[in-house]
Amino acid sequence: MRRKKSLWTGLSVMALVGSTALGLPSASAASTAASADKVEYSAGLIHALQHDLGLTERQARVRLKREKAAAELAPKAEKAAGGAFGGSWFDPGTGRLVVGVTSAARAAKVRDAGAGAVIVAHSAKELAATQAVLDARARAHKAPAGVAGWHVDPRSSTVVVDVVKGEERTAPVREFIAAADKAGPVTVESKATAAPRTFAAGTVGGDPYYTGNVRCSIGFSVYGGFVTAGHCGSPWQAVYGWDRSYMGNFQGSSFPGNDYAWVNVGSGWWTVPVVLGWGTVPDALVRGSWEAPIGSSICRSGSTSHWHCGQVQSKNDTVNYAQGAVYEMTGTSVCAEGGDSGGSFITGDQAQGVTSGGYGNCSSGGRTWFQPINEILRVYGLRLHTA
């Protein structure tokens, strides 16, 4: 998304104004993508998958094909599970979608639909009700800083509460865990090495967008502008591009509670359906927004740390930021750094969401959450630009 004076160089237009992705026309938020057999993925995305997940080029391409098939099968498999549905995930070992079910009879129907099935103790509805109790508590009384967040884990059929390492025995955390235990099936882990934080940053050089003294990254192009993280700006706040020229204004923004926003663009700026390749690899085309299952590979592009990949680890997470809790986020093993906020998360050629925050960095590793793209499109009535 550069200014009109910029030149096209084929489909790889080195044109994004931020750290990330942009898109072109699509008739629906989750437009049907072309067959995985016929899709040519960005060399940069394939290379990042090879580097971060330890795959060969062929393994990366096969995995993307299987993940796309799993994403397309997921709605049908959930319908087959009915009220016994306990969640679903992609199994990298078998390359198949797996569905947790509470009924053997329903497990057979799921298998008939084409997915794998395992018996779990609790339905997705039960687990969501347990998480809702914790969310309500966080809204009424802010969760302690020693609690990084909580999410439903369909594989263990519990709600997992992640406690920051070293904070397990503090009184506020122990009180929170005691209350959580009464809410339903809950397990506690201590994977977080620090409290989650958003990934906005002070202004430095690069190819970002700016709001005041904050630098963030573009997420994905929509008709009329782009989507990004809510913590990057407030409604009507002016936005400036990589060259400090005026781009537009925040038209909507929500944070905390959510972490999404959208910015209109004009003044000679235009949108393109790609995720930035950073001058060394081709830009990655965006063709839709099928939601990737848990266990799928996923990559992120940002104005600070550029391309990095990992796996989708959890969904519908509650993330406990210092500014307040944010709900219904997706957790990943991908790293990020300051200035990457708002940037794009993509699986294959399918938009997934915009970078929110996390902990760690891209030298030592960490965990990052994103705000799902389809919710942003739905809330603001936007259409994703696709190739």
Would you please indicate which residues are annotated as catalytic (active-site) residues? 231, 259, 341
Query: Is-cis flag, bond preceding 256, omega within 30?
Result: yes
Provide the 10 A C-beta neighbour count for residue 284: 29
> What's the CA angle centered on 357, arms 259 and 378, to 5 degrees?
25
Cα–Cα distance between 2 and 74 in angstroms, integer? 37
Taking the mean position of all CA atoms in its chain, how far away is CA 134? 22
Q: Three-state secondary structure along the chain?
A: CCECCCCCECECCCCCCCCCECCCCCCCCCCCCCCCCCCCCCHHHHHHHHHHHCCCHHHHHHHHHHHHHHHHHHHHHHHHHHHHEEEEEEECCCCEEEEEECCHHHHHHHHHHCCEEEECCCCHHHHHHHHHHHHHHHHHCCCCCCEEEEEEECCCCEEEEEECCCCCCCHHHHHHHHHHHCCCCEEEECCCCCCCEECCEECCCCCCEEECCEEECCCEEECCEEEECHHHCCCCCEEECCCCCEEEEEEEEECCECCEEEEECCCCECCCCEECCCCCCCCEECCECCCCCECCEEEEECCCCCCEEEEEEEEEEEEEECCEEEEEEEEECCCCCCCCCCCEEEECCEEEEEEEEEEEECCCEEEEEEEEHHHHHHHHCCCECCC
The burial of 172, by beta-carbon neighbours within 10 Å (0-12 exposed, 13-18 middle, 19 or more buried), is given as: middle
